[in-house]
Structure 1
Amino acid sequence: MVLKISSMVFKVKRHKHELVKPSNPTPNELKLLSNIDDQLGFRYHVPLIFLYRYNPSMLGKDPVQVIREALSKTLVFYYPFAGRLMECSNGKLMVNCNGEGVMFIEADADVTLDDFDNNFVPPFPCFDELLYNVPGSDGIIDSPLLLIQVTRLKCGGFIFSLRMNHTMSDGSGISQFLKALSELANEAKEPSILPMWCRELLCAREPPKVTCIHREYQQLPPDTKSNFIHHSFFFGPKEIAAIRALLPHHLSKSTSFKILTACLWRCRTKALQWKNSNEEIRLLCIVNARCRLNPPLPEGFYGNTVVFPAAVTTVGKLCGRPLGYAVELVKNAKNEATEEYVHSMIDLMETNGRPCFTRSGSFVVSNISKASLKDLDFGWGKALYGGVAKAGLGDIPGVSVYMHFTNSKGEQGRVVPICLPINAMERLEKELDNILKANNNGKMILRSNF
């Protein structure tokens, strides 16, 4: 279930970085971000990576040139991405749509996709070379909102890497932008879904009213620093069935997301070996609020629409009680994300200084397995892998993103990158193996204390 990590090393030759601007004039204006966009917890960059094989039908076409030209055209529609963030005196963010452009890097690597030995999962070898951090480009204020690198490979394939300022979009929003980019790369005249700004729909009410309890924003002392490693885990139908078998009948019908999340939270907590069993810990479920709002947001909206309802318990309760206890906590947390909860959170940002979500003792999970990032096609076919480049987001290690994945056996499921201290990662693998290990009769051997 734990997926093999590639340790290969290769060289990347980069051309001088450049700014790609909209191909036609765009409005020069200021646009306010929403109260969800500009919270402190989103002021970091999200790296994504997509791997593509050589396609004989694209002979003579250069992916760098195709994507660069499509990017310039796409920025005509998504022109705020070509701007720069500004911060008002009260901490509110706005986009200066000045058309400065997106940072773009052309590169070549002395490696083939076969050298990856089908290990197309995070963490990727030499990723810092595949998405080079141009000095001065990684700030939040007055820095490029996107950085893109296209790296040609010796086999004729290529790697498309992207870094996005999270204040501009969530997973659904950047998926919409990338779909538009791929459509224009395939010679469409305009995106099939035209972008809509409409960030004012997610600003505070007048007057603001915090009507819900938001324990996901309780401010606690930060966790101690440690040496972290990244591994990816695959969960297909067999793995989900093994976890489901641990639950009583009334919970065994729960969604695979809730079951997997409860299991990972419990196993991860055990692996971390908290010293105090009374320590309060949290699971933050990132919930897409688009479908919670009435009237709904317009189809082309590409801003952040996620909330973080928290399941809160103690180490002793989570690890000492049956897995069903954790499943109930996950279900209750997700059910909290009502329309009123969303507006209450937006008002909290207005009245409490846009706090960051609770990092200490938190495990944050996001499910983008339905975002179809692997379907991104610039003309060379679908990506072998498309999704986040690593576990954790920004400087927050306790974040895991679930992505759709097909393993080497052709089984479809989810790949989950996880970031933990080295010893804790080893213990996590053992915890999960104890759930999924089969005996000679083909039955699951399960830990008695689950």
Structure 2
Amino acid sequence: MKIISPNPAMKDLKVKIEESKLVFPSQQTQKRSFFLSDVDHFLCYNIQTAYFFKANPDYPPESIARRLKMAVEKVLVPYDFMAGRLKWNHQSGRLEIDCNSQGAGFVFASSEFTLEELGDLLSPNPAFQQLAVDKLPGLDDDKQPLCVFQVTSFNCGGFAFGMSNDHVLLDGLAAKMFRENLASQAFDDDRPLPFVPINDRRLLPVRLPPHVPLPQPSPPPPPPNDQNIDNVDFKVVKLSSSDINLLKAKAAADNIESGKISTFNVVAALLWRCRALSSPCINDNKDSTIVTVLDVRSRVKPPLPPEYCGNAVGVAYASAKCEDIEKWAFSKLVEMVGEGINRANEEYGVESGGVTIDWWEIKRKVLCGEDVLLTPWSGLGFDRVVFPWGKSVHFGPLVDPLQMCFVILNGEADDDGVGVNVLCVQPAQLMDRILFHLHHFFQHM
């Protein structure tokens, strides 16, 4: 196991915005109101990501920026809602998107540094947020676009391609398909979109009236978004394939069902344990709950098409007293994580939406005000997207002090298998304790 911290020498990437503008669909699109599902309603916050590319003499950054700008204009035709603006429908009492073709943001910027000087690109560096600005200068808040694309050139000729978008537009799988479509339109051969997006958010309804037949956790309201860079810490935990195999062997020692000893389940159980034991509430023996974000496209009945481009996400959960988490065998936690996912499969596998989607409609609050929130990105395939200038040398989410979670990312492959990287965004006063329990766990296996 290896811990990666932010690079202290890179607190400012010296990014200068050379050009900032709105870009519009390349063809006229229909003006309309765009319905948002109940799940969409709870995900109104920005997600920032960035691709990093080495210098390519055939594709200087200025040329790449022109290609990507034209590609964005093309994809804003089938993704016309991404060029719209959020509005409140007073009649229905719901948030929706006004598809008014007011445009997406596009920024061309430059940094004084080289890619090499940035150091390890896996580093959870808050300064990387400069590579995906979320607002355009000179625009009022109500005029700001829902997504902004940014090309930043480095002194070496390499560049970053960042994207900041409101989560209400796309979930993880839809965002990956969007990038596949965007990359395809940057080629010169007029190729078709790899994925034709299905934009109808009414495909993910709730039952009327909503119905919640199975027990669900009733969390407190999410904490206020008053976090800042000073009281939040960022780390990346690198688990090698050998580390993963050790975790699986420890879980298997107690003869639990082999189907529950997956890479995700053992990593989730490890993070749950270490976060619970680090909690200031452990002495009060309160409950600790692990909440895992799931793709529900194939889980709901009828299933959603794979190309559904809304937020088709739900949650699985497991909960236990902190005292029990400390004394139970590791295999017990692995089993509980697996049972939580199986229970979610049963809950979502009901007609017209699924239980937790109904739960959101009833409670009108997110199920993520818990100790441990896990977001799996490792299987989404962002790193496999091919642009005209090739694949990126790195892709990742940019750290945000407002999003307290563990993000599961792809790790390194070797002869023994594939590792896992975990982006940890946690309160600064807890991070050292979390890392202590991680090291202690492996030292005493």
**TM-score, length-normalised on structure 2?**
0.88
- In the alignment, the residues of structure 2 paired with residue 318 and residue 142 of structure 1 have an alpha-carbon distance, to the nearest angstrom, of 48
Q: 1:407 to 1:4 in 2, by over 3 A?
A: farther
Is 1:402 aligned to 2:385, yes or no?
A: no
The match for 1:439 is: none
Match of 2:36 among 33, 36, 44: 33
Is 1:267 aligned to 2:285, yes or no?
A: no
- In the alignment, the residues of structure 2 paired with residue 184 and residue 233 of structure 1 have an alpha-carbon distance, to the nearest angstrom, of 36
**Residues 241 and 414 in structure 2, CA contact (< 8 A), matched pair in contact too:** no
Is 1:430 aligned to 2:439, yes or no?
A: no
**Residues 122 and 389 in structure 1, CA contact (< 8 A), matched pair in contact too:** no
**Residues 282 and 322 in structure 2, CA contact (< 8 A), matched pair in contact too:** no
By how many angstroms is 1:227 displaced? Answer: 1.2
- In the alignment, the residues of structure 2 paired with residue 138 and residue 279 of structure 1 have an alpha-carbon distance, to the nearest angstrom, of 47
Helix, strand or coil at the partner of 2:197: coil
Match of 1:229 among 233, 252, 274: 233
The match for 1:349 is: 360
By how many angstroms is 1:377 displaced? Answer: 2.8
The match for 2:242 is: 238
The match for 1:377 is: 386
- In the alignment, the residues of structure 2 paired with residue 251 and residue 55 of structure 1 have an alpha-carbon distance, to the nearest angstrom, of 51
The match for 1:105 is: 107
- In the alignment, the residues of structure 2 paired with residue 46 and residue 433 of structure 1 have an alpha-carbon distance, to the nearest angstrom, of 30
**AA of the residue aligned to 2:151:** V
- In the alignment, the residues of structure 2 paired with residue 31 and residue 198 of structure 1 have an alpha-carbon distance, to the nearest angstrom, of 9
The match for 1:21 is: 24
Match of 1:116 among 95, 115, 118: 118
The match for 2:219 is: 218
By how many angstroms is 1:106 displaced? Answer: 0.8
**AA of the residue aligned to 1:243:** L
**Residues 133 and 164 in structure 2, CA contact (< 8 A), matched pair in contact too:** no
**AA of the residue aligned to 2:424:** I
Q: 1:422 to 1:351 in 2, by over 3 A?
A: closer
**Residues 64 and 106 in structure 1, CA contact (< 8 A), matched pair in contact too:** yes
- In the alignment, the residues of structure 2 paired with residue 408 and residue 135 of structure 1 have an alpha-carbon distance, to the nearest angstrom, of 43
Q: 1:411 to 1:155 in 2, by over 3 A?
A: farther
By how many angstroms is 1:431 displaced? Answer: 2.1
Q: 1:108 to 1:427 in 2, by over 3 A?
A: same
- In the alignment, the residues of structure 2 paired with residue 177 and residue 221 of structure 1 have an alpha-carbon distance, to the nearest angstrom, of 30
The match for 1:440 is: none
- In the alignment, the residues of structure 2 paired with residue 331 and residue 272 of structure 1 have an alpha-carbon distance, to the nearest angstrom, of 23
The match for 1:70 is: 71
**AA of the residue aligned to 1:429:** L
By how many angstroms is 1:136 displaced? Answer: 8.0
> Per-residue displacement from partner, 1:15-51 (whole Å, max 9, x unpaired)?
2421111111111111201122113xx1211111111
The match for 2:302 is: 295
The match for 1:255 is: 262
Listed as ranges, the matches of 1:157-172 within 5 Å are 157-172=158-173
The match for 1:313 is: 320
Q: 1:351 to 1:260 in 2, by over 3 A?
A: closer
Helix, strand or coil at the partner of 1:56: coil
By how many angstroms is 1:270 displaced? Answer: 1.9
> Per-residue displacement from partner, 1:332-361 (whole Å, max 9, x unpaired)?
211122334652223333343x212241x4
By how many angstroms is 1:251 displaced? Answer: 3.3
- In the alignment, the residues of structure 2 paired with residue 307 and residue 367 of structure 1 have an alpha-carbon distance, to the nearest angstrom, of 12
**Residues 67 and 378 in structure 1, CA contact (< 8 A), matched pair in contact too:** no
> Per-residue displacement from partner, 1:386-422 (whole Å, max 9, x unpaired)?
1211266xx231x122111338999842211102233
Listed as ranges, the matches of 1:189-228 within 5 Å are 189-215=191-217, 217-220=218-221, 222=223, 227-228=231-232
- In the alignment, the residues of structure 2 paired with residue 408 and residue 17 of structure 1 have an alpha-carbon distance, to the nearest angstrom, of 42
The match for 1:446 is: 444
- In the alignment, the residues of structure 1 paired with residue 361 and residue 280 of structure 2 have an alpha-carbon distance, to the nearest angstrom, of 37
The match for 2:372 is: 363
- In the alignment, the residues of structure 1 paired with residue 138 and residue 268 of structure 2 have an alpha-carbon distance, to the nearest angstrom, of 35
Is 1:185 aligned to 2:177, yes or no?
A: no
**Residues 137 and 143 in structure 1, CA contact (< 8 A), matched pair in contact too:** no
By how many angstroms is 1:375 displaced? Answer: 1.8
By how many angstroms is 1:305 displaced? Answer: 0.9
Q: Which moved more, 1:156-165 or 1:127-136?
A: 127-136
Q: 1:197 to 1:3 in 2, by over 3 A?
A: same
The match for 1:279 is: 286
Percent identity (aligned): 25
The match for 1:442 is: none
> Per-residue displacement from partner, 1:285-311 (whole Å, max 9, x unpaired)?
111111113332223211111111221
By how many angstroms is 1:378 displaced? Answer: 2.4
> Per-residue displacement from partner, 1:242-292 (whole Å, max 9, x unpaired)?
222322242383101000100011112223343534212210011111111
- In the alignment, the residues of structure 2 paired with residue 363 and residue 169 of structure 1 have an alpha-carbon distance, to the nearest angstrom, of 23
- In the alignment, the residues of structure 1 paired with residue 108 and residue 30 of structure 2 have an alpha-carbon distance, to the nearest angstrom, of 28
Q: Which moved more, 1:399-408 or 1:414-423?
A: 399-408
Match of 1:421 among 410, 421, 427: 427
The match for 1:388 is: 397
Q: 1:350 to 1:139 in 2, by over 3 A?
A: farther
**RMSD between aligned alpha carbons?**
2.8
**AA of the residue aligned to 1:366:** T
**Residues 126 and 400 in structure 2, CA contact (< 8 A), matched pair in contact too:** no
> Per-residue displacement from partner, 1:67-97 (whole Å, max 9, x unpaired)?
1111111111111111111122354221111
By how many angstroms is 1:143 displaced? Answer: 4.0
- In the alignment, the residues of structure 1 paired with residue 116 and residue 414 of structure 2 have an alpha-carbon distance, to the nearest angstrom, of 13
